[in-house]
Amino acid sequence: TGAYYDAMQQREETVSTYMGNELAIPHGTNETKETILDSALSVVRYDGGVDWDGNPVTFVVGIAGKGDEHLEILSQIALVFSDEDEVAKLKQAQTPEELYTLLSTVNAS
């Protein structure tokens, strides 16, 4: 929803969602959690990277977690992106379908 998108921007103004290892995980504020109908994530890969609050980011994973489900989603994403070999595989994916398959463990909940 528009309210959740606004909350994602508000959170970014408060604290950067840059996580290291070329990853940012934008998400909304606690005040807008009730606007989330279902948990979901979106993945954008910026080949060549983008400047995210002064940090190089290749992957932006937007999260909306219903209730406390965002904690499990964050945990799964952190596991994948803590492994530099996994990040390298994600960067080499040639199609959206290949990227989706590589990230399927994140979305398995």
Beta-bridge mates of residue 61: 43
Cβ-Cβ contacts under 8 Å for 70 (sequence gap 6 or more): 27, 39, 63, 64
Question: Which has the closest alpha carbon to 57: 90, 28, 29?
Answer: 90
Q: Report CA 27 to chain centroid distance, whole Å.
A: 8
Our answer to whether residue 27 is catalytic in this structure is yes
Question: Which has the closest alpha carbon to 57: 89, 106, 21, 82?
Answer: 21
Candidates 22, 27, 32, 103; catalytic one: 27
Instruction: Give the catalytic positions in this structure.
Output: 27
